[in-house]
Structure 1
Amino acid sequence: MNGSSSTAVNGSSSTAVGGGLFAADSVTWQVHRDPAMILGGLRALFLQALHPAAMRGVAQNSDFRADPWGRLMRTAEFVGVTTYGTEANARKTAARIRGIHRKLRALDPQTGVSYRIDSPDLLLWVHCAEIDSYLSVTRRAGLRLSAADADRYVLEQVTSAELIGVPADDPRIPRSVRDLDRYFQWLRPDLALTQEALAAARFLLSPPMPTWVRLGTPAAPAWAGLASLGFALLPRWARRIYALPGLPTTDLGAAAITTALRMAVLAVPPRFRDGPHYKAALARTTPAA
């Protein structure tokens, strides 16, 4: 999208807010700043793994097993830059990642057919799994958004879909919560628990840690608790596809725990809680006294 398109989606001029893709008063800023985003990100990873072709592409090309924490940090960095960075930096970062993905292929072992991992179908799946997770988890955690706000968030995120490479004229890009729900209903028959998805889920629940961290700190049980909570926040139909022993098949209590964790983080002063990208954007968009 060009600058004028971003203005139309976000409701105010990007120049007026320091050149970012999203305005300071956008729902995107509100959602992506919320402490529950980490759980939304975990939910998104569990959800994305259920698409066989997408997960196969990750398994055959990604270094997530060798460098899981680095991959998580790079994902968080991408969200931070595209949400709060200048438009130039956001587009530069997205173009670099598109360039990497453009060279990658995955092989379907059943058909022997090779396919691009940056196909519009797969990119749209990644996009929808992410925005559905971010929106669903933050709202359930206690972020007060009206139905209109939620629709506005989905519409704002059309910009993000285009940024990662989904064609701007693709009619399947959701522009409302209802569109998003319809997308998942349409795609659900294609989702499955493959061996790659099962391996990814187990990896998410118990990623490798240095021995001294695993044995000498509470990092391992703390992470397992967060990951299990992210799993519990999946839609019921997704949990049923997984049906993993020892993991919840219902979300009973998940929303209450998520709300409690969110409130605990919100008690931390913003100067410690907010990330560097948000702080830089706030400084850039706050009028001088």
Structure 2
Amino acid sequence: MTSDSAPPFLMRIRGRLLTALAGDPTGMAPYVRAIADGDDAGYFVEDGPAWTVHAGMGTLVAGIRALLLQALHPGALAGVHDWSRYREEPIARLTGTVRWVITLTYGSRTQSDAETARVGRYHGRVRGEYVAGDGAERPYSADAPDLVRWVHLAFTDAFLRSHQAYGRPIPGGADAYVADWATAGRLMRVTAPPVTEAALRAEIDGFFDRGELRRDERVDDVVRFLRKPPFPGLMGLAYRVLFAAAVATLPPRVRRMLGLRRSWLPVRTATRVILRVAERALGSGPRAQDMARLRLRRLGL
């Protein structure tokens, strides 16, 4: 379906989704258009594991799930609490993360390296103190190895689990995606990121088992905000379903630590309906992967 033939209601949904995700109602923010430029194939293979997972509608669930899981690390949460304006500008924070994911997944290596450097410069300023899981006060910085590692693990797990629940088969399976996205971890200076699903699970379990994660009033505050952010009308109703879908994909002990319960509503069915509508809406116009294909065809790849 092209933008010329899409029903008006789908175009309205598309505009709202893309404003939330990419900061532009057309989805063609300058950094997305720039993906068509560049002189190399990028870090990730066309239609490979990362392309497949990040193009899937499960990403709408994964983003919420990743934030919930990341919030359990008091150092990572302190950085968000002290330096982010997520309450005042939730869309701006979301679009900044989406820009990084899209550029790394579909952009050239030059573009990906520049985007990684941009994020790194911001992280270099994020410093402070937090109360660790053992109750001791510790300094933090957003580029500290343990925090960067936790964010990478939480992101990878969230996108993998959400895609497994709501997406199509991954080329090569779960291990292939974990190994593929480990490239992003290395770009963010994560040392030896996990490259199998089992290793990913073991590392996340290790953070829990070592007592590095905790729930406190800041976590509860983030959960309350994520449960009901200021999205109006139908978008707000759809988001509530996606939030419930994200909670349903979390392991029981994670839900317990976050103080969350699975919804009694038919979440899986409702989520599939919402994601199907979103897929039709987003598919009614060009997307980042279309820009990447233009670059690859221009390069004869």
Please state how far the C-alpha of 1:282 moved relative to its aligned partner. 1.5
Pick the aligned partner of 1:51 from 65, 73, 81: 73
Residue deviations 1:118-161 (CA, integer Å, cap 9, x gap) = 11111111011111111111111141237x42111111111100
Gaps of 5+ in 1: 1-16
Pick the aligned partner of 1:181 from 201, 205, 209: 201
1:160 aligns with 2:176: no
Using the alignment, how far apart are the partners of 2:179 and 2:40 within structure 1? 21
Using the alignment, how far apart are the partners of 1:241 and 1:132 within structure 2? 17
Any residues of structure 2 matched to 1:1-289 within 5 Å, and which?
A: 18-108=40-130, 111-145=136-170, 148-166=172-190, 170-171=191-192, 173-189=193-209, 190-208=212-230, 214=232, 217-244=233-260, 247-248=261-262, 253-268=266-281, 270-272=283-285, 275=287, 277-286=288-297
2:85 maps to amino acid? D
2:161 maps to amino acid? S
Aligned residues: 257
Q: Are the structure 2 counterparts of residues 111 and 266 from structure 1 closer, same or farther at C-alpha, using a change threshold of 3 Å?
A: closer
1:13 corresponds to: none
- TM (norm. structure 1) is 0.80
Using the alignment, how far apart are the partners of 1:139 and 1:35 within structure 2? 11
1:12 corresponds to: none
Please state how far the C-alpha of 1:269 moved relative to its aligned partner. 7.2
Please state how far the C-alpha of 1:267 moved relative to its aligned partner. 4.3
- TM (norm. structure 2) is 0.77
Residue deviations 1:136-194 (CA, integer Å, cap 9, x gap) = 11111141237x4211111111110022232xxx24x1110010011112111322212
Q: Are the structure 2 counterparts of residues 100 and 123 from structure 1 closer, same or farther at C-alpha, using a change threshold of 3 Å?
A: same
Using the alignment, how far apart are the partners of 1:263 and 1:225 within structure 2? 13
User: Would the aligned equivalents of 1:105 and 1:114 in 2 still touch at CA under 8 Å?
Assistant: yes
Structure 1 vs Structure 2 CA RMSD? 2.4
Gaps of 5+ in 2: 1-38
User: Would the aligned equivalents of 1:61 and 1:106 in 2 still touch at CA under 8 Å?
Assistant: no
1:80 maps to amino acid? I
Q: Are the structure 2 counterparts of residues 257 and 224 from structure 1 closer, same or farther at C-alpha, using a change threshold of 3 Å?
A: closer
Q: Secondary structure at the match of 2:173?
A: helix
Please state how far the C-alpha of 1:204 moved relative to its aligned partner. 1.1
Please state how far the C-alpha of 1:223 moved relative to its aligned partner. 2.3
Q: Higher relative CO (CA 8 A, sep ≥ 6), structure 1 or 2?
A: 2
Residue deviations 1:51-89 (CA, integer Å, cap 9, x gap) = 122111211111112211111111111111110011111
